Amino acid sequence: MIHAKQISYTSNQRKLIDKVSIDLHPGEFIAIIGPNGAGKSTLLSLLSNEIEGKEAQEITLKDQKYTTWNLQKLAQHKAKFSQSQQHEIPLIVEEVVRMGRYPYYQQQPLKNDHHIVTEMLSLLEIESLAKRPYNQLSGGEKQRVHLARVLAQLQNDHVNKTIILDEPLNNLDVAHQFKILNLLKNYATQGNVVLMVLHDINLAGTFADKILLLKNGKCLGFDKPQHILTSEIISDAYEFPCVVCSNPITNLPLILFGN
């Protein structure tokens, strides 16, 4: 699916990403974790064709370089949820979600597009907000509107789609966090790739098939959660002591920070 080999990104003479390689396969749910300023968002931007480094990069989606993809076709295979969503969008919620269908029609949305918009609204439990102005929503509601939009963008017959999310759980309460992670997990098992930046290490440990640990633009490890979530690796990366115990609910490793 996405294949990146030794990619780097420099801005203002600072190396934000330093020779990171990543290989994603259908069905995988990947979490990127790391302390502030590790370059997590930059890495997502590189992998999602948002920015291009000056150095020659080798990033391919479905064995095809981004430069050779048709932009509209690409939008049907890959979607991105950005972290800094614009706060002011003077439209109603429904229209914002309908933007996810823009890669599929010219001027008039088809019946199928309307259907998918309704479906996504109810999937994210925001159907009651459909006609409300986007600007009046709370932070968590706005977050779910954009998730609905991004999911609507990938509702099609293509196989092996990629969804890239930058901290999708911000502003969400715990019930919605789990609901959305389950939803994405389910989406991954259908043969798609889910790649996301997560702040919560334990949620990453619970849901991700593999975790990529990033610090100062370098990859400190890209492996199954039990290999990454050890007290040495995590306390080293975050420069804060921690212990690992077993999560009594899931029996997976649970990180607790503190002396």
Partner 1 sequence: MQKNVTAVTLISLCVVLFTSLLTLFMGVYQFENGIVDTLFQLFQTDTTWKETDWFVLMHLRIPRIVMALLVGCCLAVSGTSLQGMFKNPLASPDLIGMTSGAVLFAGITIVLGSYIKKYLPEMLYFSMVGILSFVGSLLSMLLVYGMAQTNKKTNIVLLLLSGVAISAICGATTGLLTYVSTDEELRNLTFWTLGSLGGANWTKNAILAVVTGVGLCILLPKGKALNAFLLGENDAKHLGIPVEKIKTQIIITTALMVGTCVAFCGTIGFIGLIVPYILRLLFKSNYLYILPLSAVLGSFIMVVADTVSRTVVAPSEIPIGILTAFMGAPVFILLLIRYKKGKI
The contact set with partner 1 (CB under 8 A) reads 45, 48-50, 71-76, 78-80, 82, 84-86, 88-92, 95-96, 99-100, 102-103, 106-109, 133, 153
Give me the least distance between CB of 221 and partner 1, in Å please. Answer: 29
Q: Rank residues 89 and 219 by Cβ distance to partner 1 and give the closer one.
A: 89
- CB 134 within 8 Å of CB 142: yes
Residue number, 85 or 235, with CB nearest to partner 1: 85
CB nearer to partner 1: give 50 or 127.
Answer: 50
CB of 249 to partner 1, least distance (A): 36
Report the residue number, 84 or 138, with the smaller CB distance to partner 1.
84
Contacts of 117 (CB under 8 A, 6+ apart): 94, 97, 98, 100, 101, 109, 152
At closest approach, how far in Å is the CB of 182 from partner 1? Answer: 24
Nearer to partner 1, 97 or 229 (CB): 97
- Closest approach, Cβ 16 to partner 1, in A, equals 15
Task: Give the separation between CA 256 and CA 193, rounded to whole angstroms.
Answer: 29
Least distance (Å) between residue 235 CB and partner 1: 35
Characterize the bridge pairing of strands 2-11 and 58-61.
antiparallel
Contact 35, 215 (CB under 8 A): yes
Cβ 67 to partner 1 shortest distance, Å: 13
Q: What angle do CA 61, 26, 190 make, to 5 degrees?
A: 125
Closest to partner 1 by CB, 163 or 201: 163
* Intra-chain end-to-end CA distance of the chain, in Å: 41
Specify the residue for token string 């890239």.
Answer: 164
Which residues are registered as beta bridge partners of 64? 61
Kindly state the greatest CA–CA separation across the chain. Answer: 60
Tell me the closest approach of the beta carbon of residue 258 to partner 1, in angstroms: 38
